[in-house]
Structure 1
Amino acid sequence: MRKFLPKFAYLLATSAGAGLSPLWPGTGGAAVGVVLAAILIPASPWLVVVAYMAVFAVGVWASSHVVSRTGTEDPQIVVIDETFGTAATLSMLPLDPVWWAAGFLAFRFFDVVKPWPIRVMHDKVRGGLGIMLDDAAAAVFAGASLLLLNDLIQRLS
């Protein structure tokens, strides 16, 4: 068990290895989030909420483990936060490829740029919780922005 848990934490934190990509690991983790959101399409809303709560909790645990092992505050290989954030964003949007592409891009924008208050969370909350929390906030910003855009489009149609 002593050897299994660290390897399992790395597997989860890297979103099954997506974080090990030498090119844009965060985007690779976000792509895993598209798969997660697609898998959850037929699930009931309650199951979706429970699934995202579980991914968030597991992400905090796995990220914390990698942070403590590497001594790095936000290791680049940890991408479970991008997986969670992208999936959460897409789950808020209409089931349409255009909206999902916009959701992917909007999440990546808020995740990379980190406007206030996302930046505050990123800077002030440490460890695995901080890693996951700023991406949860980015998902809320991305989803809310696109839902407002969708509402505006509906009203103008």
Structure 2
Amino acid sequence: MAKQYKFNLKKPHQFLALGFGLGLAKKAPGTVGTFAALPFILLTQSAPVWLQCLVAIVMTLLGIWLCGKTATDVNVHDHPAIVWDEVAGFYITMIGAAISWQSLVVGFILFRFFDIFKPGPIRWLDKRLHGGSGIMLDDVLAGVFSLICVQALFKTGILV
């Protein structure tokens, strides 16, 4: 029988770290939790890119603390239910993108690809960093890789 961990969504840091509770999905919590980025993406879609970057930095810095504290609470490094790293990573993916259902789907797929398969430096970060930084920064880098791909698709006209 799988060990149960006690999360408390009444604790603000856990509520956020668990992607407003979406990270508690029984199957694919990282994928489900990624959707918690949508309100942030939609609320800032018409904001200047510098402001979107600032939001991403705040999400990342806050996430280092949120994820680290929540992992400490349940005594599990990077528990699958902790998804704020996915929230920040998908948000980063969509910085400066023209938001449409197509761009969101492509960005989502690219981000999940880089997050799950962790090519190159993403895997390196994942294996070497610990605590809140270890939870967050591989997903931040996955978001940067996905951002580059999304922007390249826009520049080439493949994504409009």
When normalised by structure 1's length, the TM-score is 0.87
Deviations 1:98-152 (A, max 9, x none): 1221001000000000001100000001111111100110011111123223333
Alignment of 1:74 with 2:78, yes or no, is yes
Q: Which moved more, 1:38-47 or 1:60-69?
A: 38-47
State how 1:1-157 maps to structure 2 within 5 Å.
Answer: 7-153=11-157
Q: Report the Cα offset of residue 23 of structure 1.
A: 1.9
Q: What CA RMSD, in Å, does the superposition of the two structures yield over aligned residues?
A: 1.8
Q: Quick one: distance in 2 between partners of 1:92 and 1:142?
A: 12
Structure-2 change in CA distance of 1:102 and 1:24 (3 Å) = same
Q: Quick one: distance in 2 between partners of 1:50 and 1:143?
A: 15
From the two aligned structures, give the one with the greater helix fraction.
1
- Checking the alignment, whether the CA contact within 8 Å between 1:93 and 1:103 is kept in structure 2 is no
Q: Quick one: distance in 1 between partners of 2:146 and 2:76?
A: 27
**Amino acid in structure 2 at the alignment position of 1:27:** T
Unaligned runs of 5+ in 1: none
When normalised by structure 2's length, the TM-score is 0.85
Deviations 1:70-97 (A, max 9, x none): 2212111100011111111012423232
Unaligned runs of 5+ in 2: 1-7
- Checking the alignment, whether the CA contact within 8 Å between 1:121 and 1:130 is kept in structure 2 is yes
Structure-2 change in CA distance of 1:109 and 1:71 (3 Å) = same
Where does structure 1 differ by over 4 angstroms across 4 or more consecutive aligned residues?
none
Q: Report the Cα offset of residue 64 of structure 1.
A: 0.6
The DSSP-based 3-state class of the residue aligned with 2:94 is helix
